[in-house]
Amino acid sequence: MYQEIILDHYKNPHGRGLRDPFDAEVHHVNPTCGDEVTLRVKLDGDTVADVSYEGMGCSISQASVSAMYDLVVGKPVTDALETGEHFMTLMQAKGDPSVAEKLEDELEDAVAFAGVSKYPARIKCALMSWMALKDASARALSAQPTAMTGGSTR
């Protein structure tokens, strides 16, 4: 389960820290174990301009948010959410290697989490950041009804 890529992201997380400006901030917890993440999304039109975060939790939850940062920043929101759906599919694969193979291009580093899907207790750890992103994106979009304004500060 603990692939080298996961441990690298855990020890040297990408994009960590909360940054301004942002359009929405959410706080998600995993109540069975107390993992937490605070995540901010900044949109530029319909593109994810930045995802910034602080969190505490196990290597899986913390590496997952770091790998997610690499995958979604600079992408259209719809693509980012689609990637989240692919990650969800990977988490439901119960360790089936063919699923991971198919998703290699879409998920890049995040495909290393395939092993997590064999451990039902840990799947929520890996999914927490993606759930937070989905939530924050939805809030950011609804906070920007015109969707193309961008650059709002608060």
Partner 1 sequence: MTQTVSRPGAGAQQVPLPLDVEAIRADFPILTRTVRDGKRLVYLDSGATSQKPRQVLDAERWFYENINAAPHRGAHQLAEEATGAYEEARAKIGAFIGAPENEIVFTRNTTEAINLVAYALSNARTAKEPEFRTYAVGQGDEIVVTEMEHHADLVPWQQLCERTGATLRWLGLTDDGRLDLSDLTTVVNERTKLVAVTQQSNILGTINPLGEIVARAHEVGALVLVDGAQSVPHQPVDVTELGADFLVFSGHKMLGPTGVGVLWGRYEVLDKLPPFLTGGSMIEVVRMEGSTFMPPPQRFEAGVPMTAQVIGLGAAVEYLQALGMDRVEEHEKALTGYALEKLAEIPGVTVIGPPDTVARGGAISFTVEGIHPHDVGQVLDDSGIAVRVGHHCAWPVVRRYGVPATTRATFYVHTGYDDIDALADGIREAQRFFGVVPAVSSESGAS
Which helix (H) or strand (E) element contains residue 70? Answer: helix 59-72
Chain centroid, CA 10 distance in Å: 14
81 binds partner 1 (CB under 8 A): no
Among residues 9, 40, 122, 134, which is the contact residue for partner 1, using CB under 8 A? 122
Provide the minimum distance between the beta carbon of 118 and partner 1 in the complex, in angstroms, as a whole number.
11
Does 1 contact partner 1 by CB under 8 A?
A: yes
Identify which of residues 38 and 47 has a Cβ nearer to partner 1 in the complex: 38
Using the rule CB under 8 A, is 2 a contact of partner 1?
yes
- Per CB under 8 A, does 125 bind partner 1? yes
Half-sphere exposure of 149 (CA within 13 A, CB side): 12
Mark residues 44-73: x for contact with partner 1 by CB under 8 A, - for none. Answer: ------------xxxxxxx-----------
Alpha carbons 98 and 153: distance in angstroms, whole number: 44
Q: Do residues 154 and 140 lie in contact, with contact meaning Cβ atoms separated by under 8 Å?
A: no
Size of site (CB under 8 A) for partner 1: 18
Between β-strands 24-30 and 35-44, what pairing exists: parallel, antiparallel or unpaired?
A: antiparallel
Q: In 3D, which of 47, 49, 46 has the Cα closest to residue 20?
A: 49
Q: Does 92 bind partner 1 (CB under 8 A)?
A: no
Residues at the interface with partner 1 (CB under 8 A): 1-2, 7, 32-36, 56-62, 119, 122, 125
